[in-house]
């Protein structure tokens, strides 16, 4: 008995140690970015000592002052783009996924396949016709040019359909007996699928928040650009600016995604384990 318990403990300890080592490698660039937002260029290139000489907020202040790029406006613009896109994509996909998951009708299978084929031909691939079409609609340099295409999410359909399929049918039948119409069923089952919906929203928000390609092409006014576009142009245009400024920008960009993750992580974990089996 004792040896078995010891083996178990050894296994536990080794697994934890290996994982912590992997975590160290995975988080190293992130920590480097954060500490580098306090470092001068000479300090940055040396990497070691890892900690900056002093934690002076001078680079953050410079970045936020708007002297190099209108960072505050860009941050707000990115936030609006990511938020609207996430809400739109989640709501639209939720409605369609409910129908695909719970009903069979003529062409339902075909419609489903058409919807998820967006995954195969993402907007990035058809960027040129999208660009000319956005121009014709008069949406060029409008943040909705980035928001609206992003609300069409094949991954959202795929993911939420799987989630809604897992709601027991009896529940829907009871609601029907109680007199609920087919349209009222979705609000009724919503509490059950909320973890899944939030999980999808998190995934979409992360991708939308980091959006770089579409804004680069569909937006023009500096104030409307997303932080990814802004930081990249800052990085390649003028190295006199100092790496610390870029790293400070990166550090500030990390905040919303981390917060969102921490808020919904409980749902995130429980949702994913439901996707096993069947």
Judged by CB under 8 A, the chain residues 73 through 102 that form the site for another protein are 88, 91-93, 95-96, 98-99, 102
Q: b/e for 244-255, b at 16 or more Cβ within 10 A?
A: bbbbbbbbbbee
Rounded distance between C-alpha atoms, residue 169 and residue 254, angstroms: 41
Q: Rank residues 86 and 253 by Cβ distance to another protein and give the closer one.
A: 253
Q: Smallest gap, in angstroms, from Cβ of residue 212 to another protein? A: 4
Size of the site for another protein (CB under 8 A): 104
Near another protein by CB under 8 A: residue from 126, 171, 174, 263? 126
Rounded distance between C-alpha atoms, residue 66 and residue 22, angstroms: 38
User: Which positions from 206 through 225 interact with another protein, judged by CB under 8 A?
Assistant: 206, 209-210, 212-213, 217
Q: Return the HEC string of 42-93.
A: HHHHHCCCCCCCCCCCHHHHHHHCCCCCCHHHHHHHHHHHHHHHHHHHHHHH
Near another protein by CB under 8 A: residue from 2, 177, 183, 240? 183
Residues 245/257, Cβ–Cβ less than 8 Å: no
Which of these segments, 53-61, 66-74, 79-87, 231-239, binds another protein (CB under 8 A)? 231-239
Near another protein by CB under 8 A: residue from 64, 118, 188, 192? 118
User: Which positions from 15 through 74 interact with another protein, judged by CB under 8 A?
Assistant: 15-16, 18-20, 22-23, 26-27, 29-30, 32-33, 44-45, 47
User: Which positions from 256 through 275 interact with another protein, judged by CB under 8 A?
Assistant: 257-258, 261-262, 265, 268-275
Rounded distance between C-alpha atoms, residue 42 and residue 48, angstroms: 11
Q: What are phi and psi of 157, to 5 degrees?
A: -60, -50
Q: What is the DSSP letter of 141?
A: T
169 exposed, middle or buried (CB, 10 Å; 0-12, 13-18, 19+)?
A: exposed
User: Which positions from 131 through 150 interact with another protein, judged by CB under 8 A?
Assistant: 131-133, 148-149
User: Which positions from 239 through 258 interact with another protein, judged by CB under 8 A?
Assistant: 243, 246-247, 249-250, 253-254, 257-258
Rounded distance between C-alpha atoms, residue 46 and residue 37, angstroms: 14
Which of these segments, 54-62, 63-71, 79-87, 205-213, binds another protein (CB under 8 A)? 205-213
Q: Rank residues 76 and 272 by Cβ distance to another protein and give the closer one.
A: 272
């Amino acid at each position: 008995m004792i040896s078995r318990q010891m083996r178990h403990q050894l296994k536990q300890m080794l697994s934890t140690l290996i994982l912590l080592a992997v975590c160290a490698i995975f988080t190293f660039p992130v920590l480097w970015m954060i500490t580098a937002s306090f470092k001068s260029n000479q300090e940055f290139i040396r990497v070691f000592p890892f900690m900056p000489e002093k934690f002076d907020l001078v680079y953050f202040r410079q970045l936020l002052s708007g002297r190099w790029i209108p960072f505050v406006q860009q941050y707000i613009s990115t936030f609006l783009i990511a938020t609207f896109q996430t809400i739109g994509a989640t709501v639209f996909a939720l409605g369609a996924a409910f129908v695909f998951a719970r009903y069979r009708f003529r062409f339902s299978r075909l419609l489903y396949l058409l919807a998820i084929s967006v995954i195969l031909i993402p907007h990035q691939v058809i960027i040129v016709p999208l660009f000319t079409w956005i121009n014709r609609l008069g949406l060029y340099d409008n943040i909705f040019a980035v928001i609206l295409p992003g609300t069409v999410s094949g991954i959202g359909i795929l993911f939420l359909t799987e989630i809604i399929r897992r709601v027991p049918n009896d529940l829907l039948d009871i609601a029907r007996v109680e007199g609920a119409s087919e349209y009222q069923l979705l609000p009724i089952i919503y509490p059950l699928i909320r973890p899944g919906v939030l999980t999808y929203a998190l995934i979409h928000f992360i991708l939308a928040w980091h959006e770089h390609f579409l804004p680069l092409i569909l937006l023009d006014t500096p104030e409307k650009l997303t932080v990814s576009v802004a930081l990249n142009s800052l990085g390649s245009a003028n190295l006199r600016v100092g790496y610390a400024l870029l790293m400070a920008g990166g550090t500030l960009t990390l905040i919303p995604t981390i917060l969102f993750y921490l808020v919904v992580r409980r749902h995130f974990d429980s949702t994913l384990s439901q996707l096993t089996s069947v």
